[in-house]
Amino acid sequence: MSGMHVGIIMDGNGRWAKARGKPRWRGHVAGVDSVRDVVRSAPNLAVTTLTLYAFSSDNWKRPPTEVGRLFWLLREYCRSERAELLENGVRVSAIGRRDRIPRSALGTLEELEDATRHGTALHLRLAIDYSSRWMISQAAAQLARNVQRGALDPDEICPARMEQFINQGAPDLDLLIRTAGEQRLSDFMLWEAAYAELYYTKLLWPEFRGRDLASALAEFGRRKRSFGGLLKIEPQVKVG
């Protein structure tokens, strides 16, 4: 699957709800509409891999009622969107830890993963109970186990081998978007963002739509990417 890989830190649900005098969980519910619209729009914008930061490992620190609502929303999303995702050729997969996800939510998520596994129009990756530092540490641990059992020479450990475990088959990240005005990565795709373009918007996540994804991609298209090298400068031709 060729095309662009976009990652999004979906921030601002709580602030959106607070500004309207609603409980925080209402912001998360509203944010699902943004997910739906962005997923619908992505393939038409040449995005073939979309990674959404749905629940960070740090989010366990939130009140249990809010955490419960978030996993309820995950379960409901997997159920309500299944038919449309299948019809539109969207493949869904989750990255992050699975051992702490509530059983009912995990079961519904894995059913959706299995049902959509042949989708080719868009690969939708949901980062759930996700920590980039944890993913990097797991990659290092796997390489250490390979060395321990004699399947790998320590001198063969390199970024490319680490990447095999961290990327999990996804292409390089091209663009990372964060909503709600914050300008930090918050432990999201730290390795993958090494050469990604970063795009920040003050829009709160429930306000973000496919048109805003298009604006971010238009800005991305105007940027010059050298990946540490020198940009190719076209020679100027003198006239006359």
Interatomic CA distance for residues 50 and 44, integer angstroms: 13
138 pLDDT more than 50: yes
Which of 37, 59, 88, 187 is catalytic? The answer is 59
Residue 239 lies in a domain: no
pLDDT one-digit tens code per residue, 99-121: 999 999 999 999 999 999 999 99
Mean pLDDT, range 50-78, rounded to an integer: 97
Residue 198 lies in a domain: yes
Mean pLDDT of the chain: 94
Does this model's pTM top 0.75? My answer is yes
Tokens of 224: 């010059």
Residue 180 lies in a domain: yes
Residue 11 annotated among the catalytic residues of the structure: yes
68 pLDDT more than 50: yes
Return the exposure string of 163-191: e unless at least 16 CB atoms fall within 10 Å of the residue's CB, then b: eebbbeebeebbbbbbbbeeeebebbbeb
Residue 82 lies in a domain: yes
Which of 11, 129, 174, 212 is catalytic? The answer is 11
pLDDT for 1 equals 45
pLDDT for 168 equals 87
235 pLDDT more than 60: no
Q: Which residue has the higher pLDDT, 236 or 230?
A: 230
If we measure between CA atoms, which residue out of 88, 80, 163 comes closest to residue 118? 88
Residue 187 annotated among the catalytic residues of the structure: no
Residue 146 lies in a domain: no
Tokens of 16: 């959106």
What total of structural domains would you count in the chain? 1
If we measure between CA atoms, which residue out of 45, 34, 63, 36 comes closest to residue 6? 45
239 pLDDT more than 70: no
pLDDT one-digit tens code per residue, 162-202: 998 999 889 999 999 999 999 999 999 999 999 999 999 99
| Beta strands, E only, the chain | 4-9, 47-56, 90-95, 122-130, 175-178, 197-200
Interatomic CA distance for residues 131 and 100, integer angstroms: 13
Residue 84 lies in a domain: yes
Domain that holds residue 217: 4-129+173-222
Residue 139 lies in a domain: no
236 pLDDT more than 70: no
Residue 51 lies in a domain: yes
pLDDT for 173 equals 97
Spatial neighbors of 76 by CB under 8 A, at least 6 apart, are: none
CATH number, domain at 212? 3.40.1180.10
* 232 φ/ψ angles, rounded to the nearest 5 degrees: -75, 120
Mean pLDDT, range 128-148, rounded to an integer: 96
86 pLDDT more than 90: yes
If we measure between CA atoms, which residue out of 41, 50, 44 comes closest to residue 189? 50
Tokens of 15: 């602030």
